[in-house]
Amino acid sequence: MKKFGGIFTVLVLSVLIFTGVVIAEQVDHGDLAEGFVDYDGDLVADVPADESEWINPDQIIFSYTPVEEPSVYKTAWSDFLDHLAEVTGKEVMFYAVENYAAQLEALRAGRIHIAGVNTGSVPFAVNTAGVVPFAMMANEDGSFGYEMEVITQKDSELEGLEDLEGKTVAFVSQTSNSGFKAPSAILKSEMGFEAGEDYETTFSGRHDNSIMGVYNGDYEVAAIANSVMNRMAANGAIDTSEIKTIYKSQTFPTTAYTYVNNLHPGLAQEIKKAFMTFDWEDTSLDEEFSEDKFIPIDYKTYWEVIRTIDKANGVEYK
């Protein structure tokens, strides 16, 4: 009888695995917060198994990462949001957030359904708010991304990272990749510099604040995303000939477009369709951004370098 019971257990487990039913205790849900599950191992929260937990709102709330003045982007996204409304058949509203923390909190609270999340905050949004990254802006040839630059004024005596010893470095926020996490890791790994010991820190809150701070002489040096600096130059807000770059990083993935994992799967598919079918030419989005299209992304692959930087910095997604 004991032998038969063992065989029966093996058979039951085999059937469960074969049919796709997995016992929760046997699944590693990675860094996902309690309440989210990841049965397929893509590091992203799955849609809830209980259909009663799915949402299908009459009005879709869209938010864009607050890298610059939020009001600017309500106009910039207007043509795309009209397209999104047409494809989904839903009313769409732009939700302006003042900082990264406010956006994450709104996602957790269910006040936002679709969000463009800044690079460094994506792992936090994935693990604490259950968002699903699915798209990113790219150039016509499929290239994408930006670099972290450490900038100072053109006539500054600073020439490289070694000159930052004893200086105060302006960062953006602790969840910003190029505005804090990457430069902190690089200063530690390449120079052995520790914040508070070898250099001091200050936080500006947004990339444009850091850039304008250096431009106007309020900050001696700052770590920023060059995509923001390039847009500011294109818009006439700054003259880049007045700024000197003393360090430029590898290319990082840019803002990830995400939706909350409990959206009705049919609506999620329509949202992805809207992003991939949008014609940028002569639109408000085309006028604001240098990219030409959206491309599909895989969080597990595209954000591996960001998770590696976080690990080096001892970051926990909470």
Q: Which pLDDT score is estimated for 7?
A: 44
* Pairing, β 200-203 against β 168-171: parallel
Model pLDDT for residues 291-316, shown as the tens digit of each residue: 999 999 999 999 999 998 998 888 89
Give the separation between CA 10 and CA 308, rounded to whole angstroms: 38
pLDDT value, residue 98: 85
Q: How far apart are CA 215 and CA 220, in angstroms?
A: 9
Q: Does residue 203 fall inside a structural domain?
A: yes
Give residue for tokens 């849609």: 47
Residue 48 within any structural domain of the chain: no
Of the three residues 208, 231, 252, the one that is the final residue of a domain is 252
Confidence of residue 26 (pLDDT cuts 50, 70, 90): low
133 and 258 assigned to the same domain:
yes
CB-CB neighbours of 89 under 10 Å: 9
Residue 276: its H or E element = helix 265-277
What is the residue whose two structure tokens read 């470095």? 169
**222 closest CA partner among 183, 278, 249, 194:** 183
Does residue 165 contact residue 193 with C-beta atoms inside 8 Å? yes
- Residue 115, in any domain of the structure: yes
List % helix, strand, coil for the chain (3-state, nearest 5). Answer: 40, 20, 40
Burial class (CB in 10 A: 0-12, 13-18, 19+), 215: buried
Domain boundary among 214, 235, 252: 252
Question: Which carries the bigger pLDDT value, residue 125 or residue 313?
Answer: 125
pLDDT tens readout for residues 52-92:
999 999 999 999 988 766 677 889 999 999 999 999 999 99
Is the separation of the CB atoms in 74 and 94 below 8 Å? Answer: yes
CA atoms of 232 and 225, how far apart (whole Å): 11
- The pLDDT, as a whole number, for residue 43 is 97
pLDDT mean over 138-143: 94
Place of tokens 């079918």: 277
Which residues contact residue 126 at a Cβ distance below 8 angstroms, ignoring those fewer than 6 apart?
32, 43, 44, 45, 132, 133, 258, 299, 317
The answer to whether residue 29 sits within a structural domain is no
* Domain tally, the chain: 2
Structural domain range at position 240: 146-252
Does some domain include residue 31?
no
